[in-house]
Amino acid sequence: MQLIQLLSPLTDFVNLITGYFIEIWDFLIFIGSVSAVMVVLSGAILWFTNFNEKKGKGLVFSGILLALVVEYFILYPPEFLI
């Protein structure tokens, strides 16, 4: 019985830290999604206006790659389980 009372505060602390990790992860996924859209949009503007076609193509393809990586982490998130 003594061991259960001793581990209860530690378990509560771990649950609190896990909750913070989940919130931080969700925020990073949001930032990744928004930045993927912004990179593709700015690359498309550069590409289709012929201002800097090579840089625009690179931005579009890197934005698509970023979106794929973010989607992978949405489908297979790390497990913040105790």
pTM of the complete model: 0.79
Using the Cα atoms of residue 67, residue 69, residue 70 and residue 72 in order, give the sign of their dihedral.
positive
Cα 27 to Cα 20: distance, rounded to the nearest angstrom:
11
pLDDT tens readout for residues 25-73:
999 999 999 999 999 999 999 999 999 999 999 999 999 999 999 999 9
Q: How confident is the model at residue 12 (pLDDT cuts 50, 70, 90)?
A: confident
Determine contact, residues 39/64, Cβ cutoff 8 Å. Answer: no
Through-space distance between the first and last CA atoms of the chain, rounded to whole angstroms: 21
Q: Which H helix or E strand runs over 15? A: helix 2-48
Q: Using CA of residue 73, residue 76, residue 78, residue 82, what is the dihedral sign?
A: positive
Residue of 34 and 3 predicted with greater confidence: 34
